[in-house]
Copies of this chain bind each other. A is one copy, B any other.
Amino acid sequence: MTIGKTLWVIPEGYIPPDSEERKGSRFVSHEAACLLNANDRDAQVAITLYFVEREPVGPYRVRLPARRTLHLRFNDLEDPERVPRDTPYSSVIESDVPIVVQHTRLDSRKEALGLLSTIAWSAS
Residues of A whose CB lies within 8 Å of any CB of B are 3-4, 7, 9-14, 16-17, 26-27, 32, 34-36, 38, 50-53, 55-56, 67-71, 86, 88-90, 92, 100-107, 109-124
Q: How far is the CA of A106 from the CA of B17 in the complex (A)?
A: 16
Cross-chain contact B88 with A103 (CB below 8 angstroms): no
A106 to B56, CA, bound (A): 26
**A12 in contact with B34 (CB, 8 Å):** yes
Copies of this chain per assembly: 4
Alpha-carbon gap, A10 to B114, bound state (A): 20
Question: Which residue of A16, A53, A112, A115 has the most chain B CB atoms within 10 A of its CB atom?
Answer: A115
| Closest B residue, CB atoms, query A49 | B69
Closest Cβ of chain B to A35, distance in Å, is 6
CB distance from A45 to the nearest CB of B (A): 13
Measured CA separation A69–B87 after assembly (Å): 11
A10 to B103 CA separation, bound complex (whole angstroms): 11
Which B residues are in CB contact (< 8 Å) with A112? 110-114
CB distance from A51 to the nearest CB of B (A): 6
